[in-house]
Structure 1
Amino acid sequence: MFLNAKKILLFLAGLLLLLSSCSIKQMALNSVANTLAPFPAPKADASGGIDAAAALTGEDDVPLIAAVFPTVLKTYEILHLSNPQHRGLAIMTGSFYVMYANVFVQTPADYIPDTQFQRKNIEYLRAKKFYLRGASYVMQSLDRAYPGFAAAINRYSEEGEGAKFLARCKPADTESLYWASCGVLGAFSLDPLDTDTLAVIPGALAMLERAAELDPAYNEGALWELLAAFYAAAPEALGGSPEKALEAYQKALDLSGGQRPSVYILYAQSFCIPAQDSAGFNEALSKALEIDPAEQPGNKLTITLSQEKARWLQASKEDYFLGD
């Protein structure tokens, strides 16, 4: 009887040690996650938090960031897979995939001549894949907060469950809603004939509009910039509207203080080209190039990349305007 009791005590002690070990491991994972990807945003406001994205966007050497970005992205993905319950890691991993798709896959593909259609299309499909992967990771964060969120948004209707889920979202969810929308809309822009992506556009737009309600000034007008691009390009049946596009553009311009080149590039592409406004196109791109990256240390990368695109648009102007 004494031996049995001793065996039970030893078993319980071993189990306690095992549980303690798991608990310590999880605490360590959470500690790392809270430091590298605190939730909610903004990262810089979190105690002890590190804004990893800012560490990248503060660099103006594009080849350096292009070389290191995949390593950073995969590191976050490993951390997320090791700790899938952590909302901050899901958002950061997803947003990095969306950034990678846009900056390092789609944008270089934009510069490939149309005569190299096959090469260009292969890169666009790669970008689409990364956009959707990023959106999926961010949606995991929203699903963690609101179980069933992703499925409801994927079959969104104003009378359905998706609208009810969005009504429950809080200002802390703005970042998640923004990046999930970015991923879906980015993928759709590259392959608008994909019926699977087309089916989730209403939900993506609803997330973006809800984010704009929750935190209108988020990231100095980034929400309105994306909304303006969508409203200007989408048909009315999908929610497009020239009036909404112009209103959203003006909000983006105001909130950015006129200090983000991408807003002027948006105007040149989404408004001037369709209207064949050659003078407006020139003026918008000139304003984009007048912005000094040195005056915004935390945005050097994004400004440098945007200005590269502005110069490319200037050099390619004759492709967009008749008679130029």
Structure 2
Amino acid sequence: MAQALDVYHASLKEAQADPRVIAVQGASPFERLDWLALLTSHCLDEKKARVTIAADAQGCTALPWLEGKGRITALANWYNFFVGFLGDEIRLSEIVRRLPHGRALFAPLPKDDAAALAEAFRKAGWMALVEPCDSNHILAVNGRSFAEYWADRPGALRETVRRKSRKGEVNLRLVTQFSQTDWDAYEAIYRLSWKPGEGSPDFLRAWAEMEGKTGRLRLGIAEVAGQPVAAQFWTVEGGTAFIHKLAHDERFRKQSPGTLLSAAMFEHVIDRDGVSLIDFGTGDDPYKRDWMEDVRVRWRVRAWRKSSVRHWPSLIRALAAQRLRPLVSRNHHG
């Protein structure tokens, strides 16, 4: 006899009240309902945020999503390192079958999640395309101490840290509890940095405060003559250190406070927190290559419901572009 499957659409608040969904949350901010709820309340439209849940006696699967104009997208923005579903993929096709609208887009996805989600769309009668969309720089610690990791860094980087540390001009602090004074220093540095304007400063502050209460926060501050000149916002969870935000005051570039602070942060999470992975998020910034050793591709899944005739032109354009992409790539590199 087939197992009874309970499938329903829920708000984030309803999903947070379902113990079956709570049990399948992952070990990163981006797989936690409290983080998704915080992100939605500050950065997205709460009225359009949904979680589709499928549960039976064997377990639960949940897919967070956002309703848009004629399509659904991942419940995410630029703060997400990745998106995905919660729980196993067994019930994913039943979730997809009940999604509204005729188009869907989920990104950035880890490789296995992208493959599982695309297959679920196809089983549910949709057309689905999987394509690369971003890069994710990571460091697998592989049981090394910081000293062992540091010995493998580029010579120029190690020499910079050696020389600038010897001068003693930069004082470094790393805190694991949130304080408004420290966060004010972070925000002041960010405003003086080369970075573009912060998308949602209120969200970032609320997030740091939330992580501080659970001991997941790692906030680094570098000071010169008592003045904060560089800051980094990391979190540690599930054996992974996530590097969220870096900033430094360009006027103090000669002292290399950002580089010194990065070295101290890496040492802390490797030797004291004992993480197995450090995740530098998405983006192929050249400076990441000095610190990290591997790059993972992040993927995009686009899907069209076959019966949704009004979305066929979009599907045809996407299929044509995907067929042309290998040719364009060969011409570009050739």
TM-score, with normalisation over the residues of structure 2?
0.27
Give the number of the structure with larger relative contact order, counting CA–CA contacts within 8 Å between residues 6 or more apart: 2
Which has the larger share of strand?
2
Which has the larger share of helix?
1
TM-score, with normalisation over the residues of structure 1?
0.27
